A and B are shown apart, each in its own frame.
Chain A
Amino acid sequence: MSENQEELPQELPETQPEKKSKRGWLIGGCALLGVLVIAAVVLFVIFVPFGLVALIFGGGEIAAIVPDDAAVYAEMDLLAFQSEDLQEIIEAFQDAAAEVEEEPETYEDSLEESLGVTMEDISPWIGQHIGLVIADLDFDMVNGDETIPMVVIVQSRDKEEADAFIETVLDHREDEFDEDFDDFEFDSAVFYEKDDEYDPMIFGRYKSFVFFANDMDALEDVLDLVQEGRRAKHTLADLDEYQQTIKSLADNALVTAFLSSDAVSEYSEAMGEDLSAGIPTFSAFSDIEEAGGLTISVVEAGIQLQFATIYIEPDELPWIDLDMDMSGLTMQSAGMLPEETVLYICGYYPEDWAELYFENFSEDELEAFELLEDEFDVDFEDLFTSIEGEVALAVFEQDEGFISEIAEMPLGLSILIGINDDSEWNQLFDQLTDLAGSDLMMETDEVDLDDLELISLSLDDGHDQYPFLIYGTGDSFAVLSTEVENAEILIGEEDTLADSSDFQEVWASFPEDAYPFMYLDLQSFIQLFADASSGMLLGSVDEEEESEVNILEPLTAVAATSTYYDLSDRQIITIIFFIDR
């Protein structure tokens, strides 16, 4: 500051020394701030890998050179892969897999085999982002009948090193695979092309990007945008549905992917016509125009997947008029299920949902439905119309019950269906009771639990009775469960899933406005099936010690939430894989 003051002319009026002082402080302050900023930048660049690239390119830069009619775009952020949280997760799985006898082929092995390069060849030049563009995607391509046109775009931060990498790849492909490449120029950049009908390959570097492609047209579309630079128009980054999709998803993701509405429509239509060769899917809502997105990111609890669906015409959504007030939802069903539940799936059906579906059924679908009603002598329309509120399904460990008897697996199952009218369900259950009553080996008993009027079914072999199924209605639920012995769980008199601390804790990791719909106690689930199958489920076996190793051991639970019931222009599903590290 004194330096600045000394620079000021002496002939200034007396009042000026005061201004000079303030001005000096201002200039000096800016200079100090500038020094600090520069220092921070230098430190960032030095100590954070790809720091310089991050400064220059920021995030999502590749989308600005992707054509806006791309069917799919996926991007990997290598900077995000540097996170400590991810490293801890990887180490946790590595420790768990340490005893696996066979080491799977690593991606580095594959890279070296196919391209003749290792990480040492890549690290010197690779930038922060890698993008994958699928220019077009139709059902024939997915079926493998046609080649999917793709372009891989890799940011480069050192052109010379990148060129050396390309030369290495070229030499390797020519020497090891005996392939012939022709070279061509694009705006003075040299590319190499193997013109093969079944295995085409094109690669090269242009400006700050290295490209790999299997389709010339797709590559040229991208190169044109790179050439246009900031003047480029009709890029994915400018596309509204892309922006809306990305904005809906988590930041700082390891991987971000986008599926255009055109691709979704085409694929949905093809799937609807050819889902399993000859069974068209029910067409209600199949013409809704939507784009999709996905992110994979690391969160405190583990790995998070988010799926976004963006509706292009939200005002035309068929369910726009449904009353979807979720404010009162409390996962009531969790308070009716055993604490040992390993899988819990819960949905919510608003009033009039069934009417909406039936209104959107095609003539053929309605006829199929009517035939179903005739076949079982059940008015399914009334039955479905009476469903309102929570619908839950739970799988839990149970040594004695319907599934354990029939399938010889220690599993129990409960289905809880929220209803607004029990008459159709009572009629259905009465039919079941009559059917059971006509079987000499079946016994039925009435079970009253507070508001629940239940019937328990037992197998009677003449010596003993083996209760295996309980069903009925009450308390706004229709109930079907194999948990006969501890039926009091249904009225919360035993420890329930809602009481489980693990169950309660998982939801704290999710956004507040999302509604839980799936919980899986993975380790218990695996153990349950492992015990049932009496064998190894995952991992390798140390045959000498007859021990089993579970390489998924760090993965403790999977849970999911959805904003499905928020009637806006988008829906977000969040899945978290809880990892113990």
Chain B
Amino acid sequence: MLKIRYPLFGLILLLLTACAGLQIEELPPEEILARSAERMQELAGFHYRIERSGASAFLDYNQTISFRRAEGDYVLPDRVTAEVRVIAPGIIAEVSIISIGGTQWETNYLTGEWQVVPPEYAFQPQILLNPDTGIQAVLERDLTSLVYEGIDEIEEMPGFMLYKLHGTLEGDGAYLATYGMIDRDPLDVQLWIAPHTFELHRVIVIDPADPGEDEDTTWQIDFWDFDKTVVIQPPVVESD
């Protein structure tokens, strides 16, 4: 009988060990956020996607060019690629961006040819994404009324459980980091952070509707491929 019990006992022990590994420790939301910020600053790179839905958010002062989404890779400290979709009156345009250091290149949306763009006239994803100065830093600094909402999963990663936090973002941080696309109003923010690694997988920021508008603007920023670095080189510019 002892011989029979050993395998059974071993199996039970194995199961208990596995369960212990899967257990997600409940932590104060401030600690989760702080450890996440620290983790994001340690990364060598990541893939990202920023998507805007709801009311338009304009890149230009005349409010004719609406930001729709951007997706690409970020390699610290200062290399970024982005495929950006914008919406203008009667037209949907997509441009590619490469930013290295202080230099940014964009493709002409008609010809597809690369051209150097003065940074002041361009959408600069590296400012938004830089872990030290971008949206992640803003969240760590300006997020208030932080609440731990429990364990949750996101649709794109079924079965992968994440910490879910909820808070309010106040101040100019988001406004400055997004070129004014996000207002200075108090913003509702939700975060999904991986337990154990504290990698930030998703941020949803809801910018309430301006007076006269019917709907809010929702920003969703996703991160994945953490620590993955891709080679980002300057493009070939035709005039060179």
Which residues of A are interface residues toward B (Cβ below 8 A)?
274, 276-280, 282, 363-365, 367-369, 371-372, 374-376
- Residues in A with CB closer than 8 Å to B110 are 276-279
Known: A367-B56, A371-B88. 6 other contacts (CB 8 A): A276-B112, A277-B111, A278-B109, A279-B91, A279-B94, A368-B89
Interface of A is mostly: helix
User: Is A364 a contact of B87 with CB atoms below 8 Å?
Assistant: yes
Q: Are B89 and A372 in contact (CB under 8 A)?
A: yes
Determine the residue in chain A with the shortest Cβ distance to B108: A277
What B residues does A282 contact at CB under 8 A?
92
- B159 in the interface, Cβ–Cβ < 8 Å? no
Question: How would residues 42 to 76 of chain B score, 1 for a CB under 8 Å from any chain A CB and 0 otherwise?
Answer: 00000000000100100000001010100000000
Assess whether B109 is in contact with A371, with CB atoms less than 8 Å apart: no
CA separation between A374 and B53, bound complex, in Å? 19
B39 at the interface (CB under 8 A from A): no
Interface residues in B65-103 by Cβ distance below 8 A to A read 66, 68, 85, 87-95
Q: Chain B residues in contact with chain A, CB under 8 A?
A: 53, 56, 64, 66, 68, 85, 87-95, 107-113
Partner of B87, one of A277, A368, A375: A368
A364 to B110, CA, bound (A): 18
- A367 to B63 Cα, complex, angstroms: 13
28 A-B residue pairs with CB within 8 Å: A276-B111, A277-B107, A277-B109, A277-B110, A277-B111, A277-B113, A278-B107, A278-B109, A278-B110, A279-B92, A279-B109, A280-B92, A364-B85, A364-B87, A365-B92, A367-B56, A367-B68, A368-B89, A368-B90, A368-B91, A368-B92, A369-B90, A371-B56, A371-B64, A371-B66, A371-B87, A371-B88, A375-B89
Tell me, rounded to whole Å, the shortest Cβ–Cβ distance linking B69 to chain A: 9
**How far apart sit A367 and B90, CA to CA, in the bound complex (Å)?**
8
A364 contacts which of B92, B108, B111 (Cβ < 8 Å)? B92
B85 CB to closest chain A CB (Å) equals 7
Q: Which residues of A contact B109 (CB under 8 A)?
A: 276-279
A282 to chain B, nearest CB (A): 8
Specify which of B85, B93, B107 lies most central, judged by the most chain A CB atoms within 10 Å of its CB. Answer: B93
Give Cα A217–Cα B167 distance, bound, in whole angstroms. 60
Q: Which residue of A lies closest to B113 (CB)?
A: A277
Bound state CA distance, A365 and B64, in angstroms?
14
Q: How far is the CB of B62 from chain A (nearest CB, A)?
A: 9
A280 and B56 contact, CB distance less than 8 A: no
Q: Which 7 residue pairs spanning A and B have beta carbons closest together?
A: A277-B112, A278-B109, A372-B90, A372-B89, A375-B89, A371-B89, A278-B94
A367 touches B87 (CB 8 A): yes
Please pick, from A274, A278, A367, the residue contacting B66 in the complex, using a CB distance under 8 A. Answer: A367
List B contacts of A276 (CB < 8 A). Answer: 109-112
Question: Which residue of A276, A371, A376 has the most chain B CB atoms within 10 A of its CB atom?
Answer: A371
Q: Could you say which of B64, B68, B92, B107 contacts A375, with CB atoms under 8 Å apart?
A: B64
Chain B residues with CB below 8 A from A374, complex form? 89
Residue in A280, A365, A371, A372 whose CB lies within 8 Å of B94: A280
| Chain A residues positioned under 8 Å from B108 (CB to CB) | 277-278
B108 to chain A, nearest CB (A): 7
> How distant is A254 from chain B, measured CB to nearest CB, in Å?
37
Report the minimum CB–CB distance from B67 to chain A (whole Å): 11
How close is A168's CB to chain B, nearest CB, in angstroms? 45
**Closest Cβ neighbor of A369 among chain B residues:** B90
Residues of A contacting B66 in the complex (Cβ-Cβ under 8 angstroms): 367, 371
Residue of A nearest to B83 (CB): A278
How far is it, in angstroms, between the C-alpha of A280 and the C-alpha of B84 when the chains are bound? 12
CB <8 Å contact, B91 and A364: no
Known: A277-B112, A278-B95. A371 touches B107 (CB 8 A): no
User: Using Cβ atoms and an 8 Å threshold, which residues of chain A touch B53?
Assistant: 363
B178 smallest CB distance to A (angstroms): 18
Q: How many Å lie between the Cα of A320 and that of B84 in the bound state?
A: 36
Measured between beta carbons, the chain B residues less than 8 angstroms from A279 are 91-94, 109-110
Q: CA separation between A402 and B107, bound complex, in Å?
A: 37
- The residue in chain B whose Cβ has the minimal distance to the Cβ of A279 is B93
Would you give the shortest CB distance from B95 to chain A, in whole angstroms? 5
Bound-state Cα–Cα, A371 to B53, Å: 15
Name the B residues within 8 Å of A364 (CB-CB). Answer: 68, 85, 87, 92
Bound-state CA distance A280–B91 (Å) is: 9
Write the nearest CB–CB distance from A261 to chain B, whole angstroms: 26
Q: Which of A277, A278, A367, A368 has the most CB of B within 10 A?
A: A278
Chain B residues with CB below 8 A from A369, complex form: 90
Q: Which residue of A lies closest to B106 (CB)?
A: A278
Residues of A within 8 A of B56 (CB): 367, 371
Which residues of the other chain, A, contact B85 by a CB distance below 8 angstroms? Answer: 364
Query: Residue of A at shortest CB range from B109?
Result: A278
Residue of A nearest to B110 (CB): A276
- Chain A residue nearest in CB terms to B94: A278
- For the complex formed, measure the closest distance between the CB of B55 and the CB atoms of chain A, giving whole angstroms: 10
- Residue among B87, B95, B107, B110 having the largest count of chain A Cβ atoms under 10 Å: B87
Closest residue of B by beta carbon distance from A276: B110
Q: Which residues of B contact A372 (CB under 8 A)?
A: 89-90
User: What CA separation (Å) do A257 and B186 show in the bound complex?
Assistant: 62
Measured in the bound complex, the distance between the Cα atoms of B45 and A356 in whole Å is 45
Contacts of B87 in A (CB 8 A): 364, 367-368, 371
Distance in angstroms between the alpha carbons of A279 and B95 in the assembled complex: 9
Residues of A within 8 A of B112 (CB): 274, 276-278
Minimum CB–CB distance from B57 to chain A (whole Å) comes to 11
Nearest chain A residue, comparing its CB with the CB of B85: A364
Q: Which residues of A contact B90 (CB under 8 A)?
A: 368-369, 371-372, 375
Residues in B neighbouring A278, C-beta threshold 8 A? 93-95, 107-110, 112
